[in-house]
Homo-oligomer: A and B are copies of this chain.
Amino acid sequence: METKPSEISSSKMFGGYNKRYKHFSPTLGCSMTFYIYFPPSPSPSHKFPVLYWLSGLTCTDENFIAKSGAQRVASTEGIVLIAPDTSPRGLNVEGEADSWDFGVGAGFYLNATQEKWKNWRMYDYVVKELPKLLSENFPQLETSKASIFGHSMGGHGALTIYLKNLDKYKVSVSAFSPVANPINCPWGQKAFTNYLGPSKADWEEYDATSLVSKAHDVSATILIDQGDEDKFLHDQLLPNKFEEACRSANVPVLMRLQPGYDHSYFFIATFIDDHIHHHAHALKL
């Protein structure tokens, strides 16, 4: 099985290209797809900084590319967008597709420790395998300059990956409507129980609110947009818990509550330019 990515589609947009690739992932034990948006290049030897987008529950690598409109400003800012899928696919683990909020499409960007879900290692896939694969196969990417953002489950994934890798290469982080404190909400409790087992100490290793309260040396402001008519706000997302933890730990956070907006890509598309600018500013320092 081929671990080297092969191009499966290419569409021009805003002067650049949305390209979709397929490869076999040794980390996950299955074939995976991801999208790269390449902005127009000023020269053949130009290298672009990269911005990872992590999607939410039920999404694939396609939703962000089709619906966010991020490519417009990524083109003018000269930033590459990377959109991975949200879980392993095609493994036929019993019950993997029984719930929309668990299993397929619901990797939660962690490394599962429970035998049944041993292939669910989206943390290692996003943090280790994918950057290495990109670095080895796409010379036009400056993979050492990388920032990360995402939506809902993926917004949380972005926050945790950033907070767990402050000493490494991640430059800046932002999130739309993140599942900000999963150990205290039904989506998170269901996923973490199944993937990580019953110990809450293990859960805290993948909880953004727990992680930020122990964070040191977060100097770049964390940008979060949240719609105040998001139907998941009060039961599942709990951004106020994350904001409180940031304040206690003296971590700079800009939490913007956007009146009237819901949890959809319509909300994301409205504010995506601000997030791209936020990351472009950090990546170009």
**A199 contacts B by Cβ under 8 Å:** no
Q: Smallest distance from the beta carbon of A76 to chain B beta carbons, Å?
A: 13
Q: A12-B229, A12-B266, A270-B13 are in contact. Are A66 and B69 (CB under 8 A)?
A: no
CB interface residues, A 161-189, toward B, < 8 Å? none
The stretch from A134-142, A242-250, A257-265 touching chain B is A257-265
- Asked if B66 and A11 make an inter-chain contact with CB atoms under 8 angstroms apart, the answer reads no
- Asked if B18 and A266 make an inter-chain contact with CB atoms under 8 angstroms apart, the answer reads yes
A30: chain B residues at CB < 8 Å are: none
- Asked if B69 and A11 make an inter-chain contact with CB atoms under 8 angstroms apart, the answer reads no
A13: chain B residues at CB < 8 Å are: 266-267, 269-270
- Asked if A66 and B14 make an inter-chain contact with CB atoms under 8 angstroms apart, the answer reads no
Interface string of A1-27 (1 = CB under 8 A from B): 000000000011111001000000000
**A67 contacts B by Cβ under 8 Å:** yes
From the candidates B12, B66, B261, B267, name the one contacting A67 in the complex (CB within 8 A).
B66
- Asked if B261 and A12 make an inter-chain contact with CB atoms under 8 angstroms apart, the answer reads yes
Interface string of A146-161 (1 = CB under 8 A from B): 0000000000000000
Residue with the highest number of chain B CB atoms closer than 10 Å, among A11, A18, A261, A267:
A11
Q: Smallest distance from the beta carbon of A81 to chain B beta carbons, Å?
A: 13
CB interface residues, A 234-285, toward B, < 8 Å? 260-262, 264-267, 269-270
**A145 contacts B by Cβ under 8 Å:** no
**A72 contacts B by Cβ under 8 Å:** yes
11 contacts between A and B (CB under 8 A): A11-B266, A12-B260, A12-B267, A12-B270, A13-B267, A13-B270, A14-B269, A66-B67, A66-B265, A69-B69, A71-B269
A residues apposed to B, CB below 8 Å: 11-15, 18, 66-67, 69, 71-72, 227, 229, 260-262, 264-267, 269-270
